[in-house]
Structure 1
């Protein structure tokens, strides 16, 4: 997940490296941010999701949700086919594919789980190899945006006398500058998933345990939060980095029961089954907290890594189920990214 301006910059960088100007350059910039326009269908989903069945809601989420269908391989291919049909321009079609693919790849390689092969599979996955505030991935693509901004301002009689040396340098070297920047960016984005693999394999050997590659989450530049099931009652959480290996360790209890709650395990099992039916399935290491008050049982479900990540993370969602101990009925709530808790519609769960 890279900021939209940097996504735009990558599209423009591809265009400038290949010599496209005018409308075709702008079109490639647009294609590089096209997947993030899924916020528009997501608004529609939010408006109608409460009035449909659970099964329909899930399917609509796959189609209309943020970082769902518009971030899939099928969508990339459909857009590429459309470009070819409209233009019959091989180079522009290839550039269009590269622009939209760059967006999906960057989101997939950073910190958010997606369904890249939907509708053939609804399983989520991620590379999670690049921190979403990665300096190179975010800042380097801003250069072509700045270049075009300066050109635009000067063309409209503004910023005269400013950035003259910069403009002269870019003009003289643009045939080599833009391809070089693009190559540097591609190498960087290709190497980081490999270095993460080496780190995960190293941590696995040190711990003598199978550490999940995709569930090892980038928490800052060069650092990750990793976890695995240590035993039947606890997860082991680790902060790891390229330069220090395992820096911190902690153990998180899988099920915490506050007081004497009859049938606590039954409630935990029920919450697990309810959660398994909903989307987007963001929790990888489920932690349950069970308590009882006034003939009701509360079960909180969160991810074991939640408190170890300061900024946004796909798993920073907390669910809370309130069960009526007598009737067995329940009300569910959820809070995302530390925001205010909201009550969920019944059709969230099957």
Structure 2
């Protein structure tokens, strides 16, 4: 599972292979988790977003949003320059840069839409070649953490048959003979993270041959190890949704209507939602579908991604935007729902 602990584990691998001192290892470990501290900035943004106009909110989001500026290459450059000025140690500099870069790349290669080249490229993108629950990344990144826990247990005098049994692998970790293992794990991790984006290119190409239609590389998201969820616009009224894997090709497919409900009378509200959402951040929805309904003086337009029903865990696909327009007064409210749970009305300055 790719999370902060995973990033910490990779940072520890890099530090161990670099042969750093105890203090330097702590610095590299901190570098590996540093980008995720942007949740503090994101919290600050949420605290003041109602007081910002739309343009200011978007500008602040680029800088303070989660997986935004602190997950960018320019941020990596600033941090590594600071480490060099502060420490003047080339090995530490390389290890620190590798640790923080590994964090950003690992997020980018899984499923998160990011802006790693901000401010030069403001369009969100993703490689999306490795599943969030990828077993190889999870296992490799957690081994150093497990080793630390076992070592701490050993120092505290904890003994049991599991730790002292006939398992040579655990005995090697406990005895500290792990430097060679860490080098091997880091090589495997690097090869795995470079190999999967290339493998995905061949899979997407194979799907295109079967479908006779261009398939968006970034729009093909991993939904489980080796399995991807793709979509494309089949015609003006439907998307085609595909589930494919490396070992079976296209496993299943279906069509999803772009519009449902009463669109004949209330299509102008759908058009307005399109314009409002296109001006907002973070822009999770890649293949928008709209459900329109009316009750009294209210017209409700629900916006979601066409892939929502086909992804069990992916947060972006479980996000819905509910626009409620008052046809008499002329104003509207917006609710954001994740996994069926809806928030209080969000500030309209997020959209205009």
Coarse TM-score class (shorter-chain normalised): over 0.9
**CA distance in structure 2 between the aligned counterparts of 1:117 and 1:315, rounded to whole angstroms:** 24
Unaligned runs of 5+ in 2: none
Equivalent pair of 2:244/2:252 in contact (CA under 8 Å): yes
* Residue in structure 1 matching 2:204, options 200, 203, 207: 200
**CA distance in structure 2 between the aligned counterparts of 1:341 and 1:261, rounded to whole angstroms:** 29
Unaligned runs of 5+ in 1: none
**Superposed counterparts of 1:140-289, under 5 Å:** 140-159=140-159, 163-164=163-164, 166=169, 168-170=171-173, 171=175, 173-258=177-262, 262=265, 264-289=266-291
Cross-structure match for 2:78: 78
TM-superposed CA distance for 1:333, in Å, is: 1.1
- Flag the 1:124–1:140 CA change in 2: closer, same or farther, 3 A: same
Provide, for residues 232-277 of structure 1, a one-character-per-residue CA deviation record: whole Å limited to 9, x for no partner. Answer: 110000111111111111101011133x752x22111110001011
Cross-structure match for 2:52: 52
**CA distance in structure 1 between the aligned counterparts of 2:92 and 2:169, rounded to whole angstroms:** 29
User: Secondary structure of the equivalent of 2:5?
Assistant: helix
User: Secondary structure of the equivalent of 1:78?
Assistant: helix
The count of residues paired between Structure 1 and Structure 2 equals 348
Cross-structure match for 2:350: 348
TM-superposed CA distance for 1:335, in Å, is: 0.7
Per the normalisation by structure 1, the TM-score is: 0.95
TM-superposed CA distance for 1:2, in Å, is: 1.0
RMSD (CA atoms):
1.7
**CA distance in structure 2 between the aligned counterparts of 1:72 and 1:19, rounded to whole angstroms:** 27
User: Secondary structure of the equivalent of 1:140?
Assistant: helix
**Superposed counterparts of 1:273-312, under 5 Å:** 273-312=275-314
Provide, for residues 132-191 of structure 1, a one-character-per-residue CA deviation record: whole Å limited to 9, x for no partner. Answer: 000111121111112122223323444488735556524474342111110011111111
**CA distance in structure 2 between the aligned counterparts of 1:339 and 1:99, rounded to whole angstroms:** 36
**CA distance in structure 2 between the aligned counterparts of 1:86 and 1:255, rounded to whole angstroms:** 57
